[in-house]
Amino acid sequence: MTDPSPTRFVKMHGAGNDYVYIDCFRERPPADPAALAPAIADRHRGVGGDGLILVLPSTVAAARMRMFNADGSEGEMCGNGIRCVAHLVVARGHAPPGGVAIETGRGVLTVDVQPTGPGRSRVRVDMGEPLLDAVRIPVTGAGSGRVVDAPSAALGSEEAWWSAARLDPRMTCVSMGNPHVVFYCGDVAAVPLETVGPRIERHPSFPKRVNVHFVQVRTPERVAMRTWERGSGITQACGTGASAVCVAGVMTGRTARRIVAEVPGGELELEWAESGRVFMTGPAEEVFEGTWCGG
């Protein structure tokens, strides 16, 4: 059951990864956000989006972020979402521009917000250090070390599309506070993501399910990627996923520490610094405001 009382919301996106945001500094938090998320994110009967994000007061940061996927499951972190949260916090006067601390399911992350126009900001996020041990990602059947160019039972046996996509069937796994699996191929457009994505997401190899990425390396500094997000399906962009792809590229020797990731919704800039921390830079844009009347 969704909350029946009218609630103001803001529709925003980061490189096309769109969510419905509720500013809980001004609005009463929904009683059951896990139930509200599928209703409000429905692209035919709701506002439409990849999920729901609540922007809440925090005792340890400028704001606290809770994100719910389109299926109602709660995620630990969303890279494009945190950029939009930070933009909203600054644009609505809850914090000044510049460095803004945001509390997430992954801990407190530092975000640099630079407004670029009405309803828009360019935002750089310190995504923290990746988790690389299989048991922490988590991935089963892969021992306790790193999972780099490893055999993957989740992909299944060779299928017809493998040659069209020029697929390397080995997987590399990374956690950015949420789990990711990366596969490399020669043509991301040839991957039947709508059928392959959900199968890999729920494979027993990934006890907490997994975000699935197929990556085409254009140069050592530029990649194209497509994503099936855990709980949301095919999305225009995935910030934590692009961060994981940056890390995977370095670990496998395919790409440099600084890359541009081409995603269907635009471009994201990534860096896996020598310090071990990953930094992501990209846009945050408001689309419209409205009132959700429940039901």
Phi/psi at 151 (5° precision): -60, 150
- Exposed, middle or buried by CB within 10 Å (0-12, 13-18, 19+), for 242? buried
Q: At what angle do helices 79-91 and 239-252 cross, to 10 degrees?
A: 130
Q: Measuring CA to CA, which residue among 83, 86, 68, 77 is closest to residue 106?
A: 77
Q: How far apart are the first and last CA of the chain?
A: 8
Residue 295 near residue 2 (C-beta atoms within 8 A): yes
Residues known to be catalytic = 78, 238
